[in-house]
Amino acid sequence: MNVIAKSVAVGLLAMAAGSAWASDGTIEFTGEITTSTCEFANGDTVNVELGHYSNTQFKTVGGKSPTTPFTIPLTNCPTEAWKHVDGSESKSFQLWLETRNGGTTGANNDLVAVTGSATPATGVGIRIDRASDGAQLALNKLNDTPVTFDITGEQTDVNLQAYYVSTVESSAITAGEANASVDVTIDYR
């Protein structure tokens, strides 16, 4: 009798343990893999000369150098619209800007930190905006409110602007090289 009771108890425990693995829901993934993506038209590097400025030009924290417009020419872009994660359908993308070496600076880590081969400048960072409206591009993530760029054809220009922004009072800015590199990823979500 004792063996039968033990067998029944083990069977009941096994059934109860099975219900612990029961599913509460399902996740279904959808998406698409495409062979047509935009590429930098003239190699994989765009050089932007921001210029030379005195520390006294930056009068206060947040002081700016003149804006330098620049263009990323793209080629081989998709010519048909696709569905984005927000449900909209369009031929548009966002830029993911990934900082290198120096990372970010500024009160909100929203400026590219500058570097130099010898002694880099301190107290300034580089801001990158969409040229059409001055919308700042996020660094190391996508913007919380999407900053999109429309694909106008197989060849498309991405018009941006950049400038130095002071993160300290002008007297605390030190002279030196103020260079930076940012990796660009075209995000089609």
- pLDDT tens-place string over residues 35-89: 668 999 988 999 999 999 999 999 999 999 999 999 999 999 998 888 888 888 9
Q: Is residue 66 part of a domain?
A: yes
- The residue to which tokens 């030196």 are assigned: 176
Any domain includes 30: no
- Residues contacting residue 82 through CB under 8 Å, at least 6 positions apart: 32, 34, 89, 90, 91, 188
CATH of the domain at 104: 2.60.40.1090
Average pLDDT value for the chain: 88
Q: Is 73 within the bounds of a domain?
A: yes
Tell whether 96 is covered by a domain. Answer: yes
90 occurs within a structural domain: yes
Q: Which of 7-21, 27-41, 107-121, 166-180 has the lowest mean pLDDT?
A: 7-21
In a domain, 43, yes or no: yes
Count of alpha carbons within 13 angstroms of residue 113, beta-carbon side:
15
Domain count for the chain: 1
The pair of structure tokens assigned to 95 is 């830029």
pLDDT at 18: 52
Give domain status of residue 16, yes or no.
no
Q: Is 25 inside any structural domain? A: no
Token representation of residue 105? 């600076």
7, 10, 12, 188 from 4: Cα distances, Å: 5, 10, 12, 63
The partner residues of 128 in beta bridges, in order of sequence, read 162
pLDDT at 67: 97
Distance (Å, rounded) from C-alpha 82 to C-alpha 90? 6
Task: Identify the domain containing residue 53 by its residue range.
Answer: 37-187
96-134 pLDDT tens trace? 999 987 699 988 899 999 998 889 999 999 999 999 999
160 close to 131: Cβ distance less than 8 angstroms: yes
Mean pLDDT of 17-40: 75
